[in-house]
Amino acid sequence: MNKVNIIKVGGGVVEDQASLASLLSQFAVMEGRKVLVHGGGRLATATATNLGIESRMVGGRRITDARMLEVVTMVYGGLVNKNIVAGLQAKGVKAFGLTGADGDVIRSRKRPLKSVKMEDGTEQMIDFGYVGDVDKVNAQLLVQLIECGIVPVVAPLTHDGEGHILNTNADTIAASVACALAEHYDVTLTFCFEKPGVLRNADDDSSVIPSINEEQARSLIAEGIIVGGMIPKIENAFEAIHQGVRQVIITHSDNIDGSRGTTIKG
């Protein structure tokens, strides 16, 4: 089966010009079929602050009201996506930027009220606002693009089929795309961010945990070692493994070949 690499890059990388340039250079020379999924949360937060809009995060996920939806649509689907596409075009990559609404590639539904465990250990019902939970990915369209030599660059926005854009976690987008493409390819999903992997000690970059299975992940979350935005990343990684993705790697953006970092095991 043909291989495809799905690289997800976080907002901490895309907002730093040097880090982004390094990642795009690595991605451009990566051989074979590939897809890039990007975040941009920090830039969205900064933009919202400049506009006087408060940002709220719960459990590593953004609460998106009507004004914040406008911000993330502009930042994710516009500024970040097109800067990445232009950067890849300059390196000879036939990049094609899209949100989930383009070509109906990712359809989602508005998230219902959800019980979330808070930092103090209590659970609260949270309305995340205009946030989408993925229903389906149009794998055939992505396959057609990939087989034409086009590299999809996917922003973390989806739609509900009724005219509404929905903010969707970029890790979830990457995992959903990986799962859909696993029916057609041998898929490796790599989550790239500004740390060298999942750390046992957040202040020590040398404390990378080389591999994690589900039982270990539950323990690390309960112990407070895996926290914040790493929790949905881990959850999405295991969901991808269950849905046929061959391997998931969490690593630094300078290491998109996956030779170092944390490997998620089923």
Lowest model confidence (mean pLDDT) among 41-45, 57-61, 106-110, 182-186:
57-61
CA angle, residues 236, 198, 177, in degrees to nearest 5: 25
Alpha-carbon gap, residue 180 to 143, rounded angstroms: 10
- Tens of pLDDT along 15-25? 888 889 999 99
- For the stretch 147-159, pLDDT in tens is 999 999 999 999 9
Closest CA relative to residue 138, chosen from 117, 118, 152? 152
Q: How many domains does the chain have?
A: 1
Q: Is the pLDDT assigned to residue 78 strictly greater than 90?
A: yes
Is the CB of residue 143 less than 8 Å from the CB of residue 184? yes
Query: Tokens standing for 29?
Result: 């020379």
pLDDT for residue 60: 67
Per-residue model confidence as pLDDT tens digits over 197-238: 999 998 999 999 999 999 999 999 999 999 887 888 899 899
Q: Taking residues 154-172, what's their average pLDDT? A: 96
Query: At 134, which CATH number?
Result: 3.40.1160.10
Strand pairing class (165-167; 157-159): antiparallel
Beta strands in 11-167 (DSSP E): 33-38, 56-58, 61-63, 95-98, 106-110, 114-117, 123-126, 132-137, 151-154, 157-159, 165-167
Any bridge partners for residue 247, and if so which?
A: 188
Do β-strands 211-212 and 165-167 pair in parallel, antiparallel, or remain unpaired?
A: unpaired
Range of the domain at 251: 3-264
